[in-house]
Amino acid sequence: MLSKDTLQFLDDLKANNNRDWFLENKKRYEIFKNDYLQTANDLLDALKPLDPSLEMLEGKKCTFRINRDIRFSKDKTPYKTHLSFWFSSGAKGQNRSGYYIHLEKGASFIAGGLYCPEAGDLKKIRKEIAFFYDDLEAILDEKDFKREFTDFAREEKNTLKNPPRGYEKEHPAIDLLKLKSFESAQKIEITAATKKDFVAVMSQKLIVLKPLNDFLNRALTSE
> In tens digits, what is the pLDDT along the chain, a chain of 223 residues?
999 999 999 999 999 999 999 999 999 999 999 999 999 999 999 999 999 999 999 999 999 999 999 888 889 999 999 999 999 987 666 789 999 999 999 999 999 999 999 999 999 999 999 999 999 999 999 999 999 999 999 999 999 999 999 999 999 999 999 999 999 999 999 999 999 999 999 999 999 999 999 999 999 998 6
User: Domain containing 26: what range?
Assistant: 4-220
Torsions phi, psi of 88, nearest 5? -150, 150
SS3 of 133, please? helix
Per the DSSP assignment, residues forming a β-bridge with 86 are 100
Torsions phi, psi of 99, nearest 5? -120, 135
Which own/partner contact pairs does 38-42 have at CB distance under 8 Å and 24+ positions apart?
A: 39/1, 39/2, 39/85, 39/193, 39/198, 39/199, 40/85, 42/1, 42/199
Per the DSSP assignment, residues forming a β-bridge with 115 are none
Task: Mention every residue, 6+ apart, whose C-beta is less than 8 A from residue 113.
Answer: 97, 152, 181, 182, 183, 184, 209, 212, 213, 216
CB 7 within 8 A of CB 190: yes
Residue 197 falls in which region: left (phi positive, over 0), alpha (psi -120 to 50) or beta: alpha
pLDDT at 222: 82
Helices 198-206 and 26-47 pack at an angle, to 10 degrees, of 50
- Cα 151-156-162 angle, rounded to 5 deg: 100
pLDDT at 26: 97
Counting beta carbons within 10 angstroms of the beta carbon of residue 36, is it exposed (0 to 12), middle (13 to 18) or buried (19 or more)? buried
Total domains present in the chain:
1
Task: Mention every residue, 6+ apart, whose C-beta is less than 8 A from residue 1.
Answer: 39, 42, 193, 194, 195, 196, 197, 198, 199
Pairing of strands 182-187, 98-103: unpaired
Minimal CA–CA distance to 95: which of 196, 4, 178, 219? 219
